[in-house]
Structure 1
Amino acid sequence: MLEQFKELSYFGIMLALTFEFVPAELVLPLAGYWVYEGDMTLWGTVLAGTVGGTFGPLTLYAVGRYGGRPFILKFGKYFFINEEKLTKADEFFEKNGAMVAFTARFLPGVRTLISIPCGMAKMNVWVFSIYTFVAMLPITFIYVYLGFKLGENWKNVGELANQYILPAGIAVLVIFVAYKLITRKKKKTYREQHKTASKKH
């Protein structure tokens, strides 16, 4: 089945991740192996994986937003979602707010399901998409790069990737928060300067 996605090249990777035919933890290392074989470029594969990894959560976001909890509890079994997992994701969302669309991507157990409570809470879809994309970029890179480096041993990527994903999440979060603080400080400085200039006139 995965060979059929390979025939579709980058679009195949994006398609597989969008509809989650197979877990991303399997698709991305294999895609890294295809890079190793010379069939694709590293950054082209990372971009395709990141886009697909953003579209995939959007489908679950839509289920949460338009189907609600009763729908998910009724049909969730077909997607390996049970009430216990959903409750865990709900609690994580309540504790962390909108940022979970970013932070939860780095945590096994709530990574996939967190999109549902984001949808149920009617979180802004653009904010959700941006947070998801920013989180999926380093995660995708790690899986694809390790698959590329391990070559024929790409199936061993899983355990190795877990050692890098959480630290990568912390690093990206620090950069993101620093950027927000710097931007906020610049805006505040601009407003104060503008206010001072207005008083002079």
Structure 2
Amino acid sequence: MIEWVTNIVAAGGWPGVFLLMFLENLFPPIPSEVIMPLAGFAAARGQMSFVLAVIAGIGGTLLGNAFWYELARAIGSARIRPLFARYGRWFAVDDRDFDRAEATLRKYGPVALFFGRLLPAIRTLISVPAGLAHIPRHVFYVWTAAGSAIWILFLTSAGYLMEDHYDRVEGWLEPLSYVVVGGIVGAYLWHIWSTRVRKPR
């Protein structure tokens, strides 16, 4: 993975960074924790502009998130709600959970979007409920851009400062990603047990 990303960054410059970050937000297995430190490393070596690398990263992120947001917005929660009513138990949610989540996102949309962009595994997924809840476009794009800018600037700066040791950035962030994902899975299993197993008894 790292070698493939390195080749694209080296050959494509900032357009390659833009493409990779766009794909990263469509297919999360391509990690920004690898892409942007590599871009920072290339900038430190004079192979591309640091500023253009950051701008390209933000642009690719926005475009990737726009895909999911606009798709979810076009579908709308009204079409999704029957699916939750029928299959929601397999996702540990029901109609009331769906309503609460939608109401919370409507109320705290900017905060959720901003901090969601800083959390591994949540960064892309949050665009879907934002679209379903019809969060206003200007709110979605402004706060997504703000949160993404901080994350991307941090990763790019880390790669720039560490140069040849940029791989340490991924090594430091990867355990954090596992902790976050593990917490999400644990919360899911607890919700399943407490609402579908313990309560009926």
1:54-133 correspondence to structure 2 within 5 Å:
54-67=62-75, 83=91, 91=101, 94=104, 97-99=108-110, 100-133=112-145
5+ long unaligned stretches in structure 2: 84-89, 175-201
| Offset of residue 142 of structure 1 | 0.5
Higher mean C-alpha displacement, 116-125 vs 97-106: 97-106
Partner residue in 1 for 2:38: 30
The CA deviation string for residues 155-197 of structure 1, in whole angstroms up to 9 with x for no partner, is 11135569xxxxxxxxxxxxxxxxxxxxxxxxxxxxxxxxxxx
Q: CA deviation at 1:65?
A: 1.6
Structure 2 residue 44 is matched with structure 1 residue 40: no
**Inter-partner Cα distance in structure 1 for 2:152 and 2:169:** 12
Give ranges in structure 1 of 5+ residues lacking alignment: 75-81, 163-201
8 Å Cα contact 1:33/1:154 also seen in 2: yes
1:15 Cα deviation after fit: 1.4
> How many equivalent pairs are there?
151
1:156 & 1:84 partners in 2: Cα distance?
Answer: 37
CA RMSD of aligned residues (A): 3.1
Q: Structure 1 CA distance, aligned partners of 2:34 and 2:103?
A: 27
Q: How does 1:149-188 map to 2 (within 5 A)?
A: 149-158=161-170, 160=172
Could you tell me how far 1:24 is from its partner in structure 2? 1.3
In the TM superposition, residue 6 of structure 1 has moved relative to its aligned partner by 3.2
The alpha-carbon distance between structure 1 residues 92 and 120, as it changes in their structure 2 partners (threshold 3 A), is closer
Offset, 1:103 = 2.0
**CA distance in 2: counterparts of 1:33 and 1:93, whole angstroms:** 42
Question: Partners of 2:140 and 2:170 in 1: how far apart?
Answer: 26
Distance 1:37 1:129, change over 3 A: same
TM-score by length of 2: 0.63
Higher Rg: 1
Q: Which whole-Å CA distance do the structure 1 matches of 2:146 and 2:103 have between them?
A: 18
What does the per-residue CA deviation read over 1:111-153, in whole Å, with 9 as the maximum and x for residues that have no partner?
Answer: 2211110000111122211111111112111100101111121
> After superposition, what is the alpha-carbon deviation per residue over 1:78-119, rounded to whole angstroms, capped at 9, x for unaligned?
xxxx9469x89x849726621122121123342221111000
1:6 maps onto 2:18 in alignment: no
Contact 2:65 2:127 in 1 (8 A): yes
Mapped partners of 1:29, 1:93: distance in 2: 37
Change (3 A) 1:60 1:83: farther
Identical aligned pairs, as a percentage? 25
Distance, in Å, in 1 between the alignment partners of 2:92 and 2:155 is 28
Distance 1:18 1:43 in 2: 18
Distance 1:142 1:45 in 2: 12
TM-score by length of 1: 0.63
Cα pair distance change 1:126/1:9, threshold 3 Å: same
